[in-house]
Amino acid sequence: MTINVTLREMITDDLPTFYEQQSDATANYMAAFTPTDPADRNAFTTRWLKILRDDNISKKTIIYNGDVAGQVLSFEHFGEPHVSYWIAKEHWGKGVATSALSKFLADSKIRPLYARAVKDNIGSIRVLEKCGFTITGEDKGFSNARGTEVEEFILKLDR
């Protein structure tokens, strides 16, 4: 089965959709590392407008069957290049994340590239591994979405 996923430049008009996607409580729980208050639309908009203006952040909107399904970004985090993505909950389990991340990585020559996933986010860990990442370490951090410290895997893509 072919997954109809494309990536395009991120635009300001994507922000209302991203806000709705990132307001989902289940999605926030799985992502774990989220803003303190995902419902704060002003903070959300301020943060994303800053991201859109930052030429050091590579950012793409994920389109699935013609709809905005999420985003994928690469940026510096803890002094190393990292990648992250967000897929709207209604698109989980369809191969959208794997397809989008694979396309993003094909266009990015930054290596090594790192990613982080909370240990119980099996779906995200599986996506990263399918795209060539391997678990290279562990860390802990405070999860706003969960209100507690959580354990996460650090993954690395060398090739």
| CATH code of 47's domain | 3.40.630.30
Answer yes or no: is pLDDT of 114 > 60. Answer: yes
* Domain housing 112: 5-157
Measuring CA to CA, how many Å separate 107 from each of 2, 7, 122? 20, 10, 25
Give the confidence band of 38 by pLDDT, cuts at 50, 70, 90: confident
- Counting the structural domains of the chain, the total is 1
- Reported residue count of the chain is 159
Q: Which of 117, 9, 16 is nearest to 59 (CA)?
A: 9
- Over 120-155, what HEC string results? CCHHHHHHHHHCCCEEEEEEEEEECCCCEEEEEEEE
Q: Which residue has the higher pLDDT, 48 or 37?
A: 48
Residue 65 contacts residue 12 (beta carbons within 8 Å): no
Calculate the average pLDDT of the chain: 95
Segment 40-67, tens digit of pLDDT: 999 999 999 999 999 999 999 999 999 9
Q: What is the pTM of this model?
A: 0.94
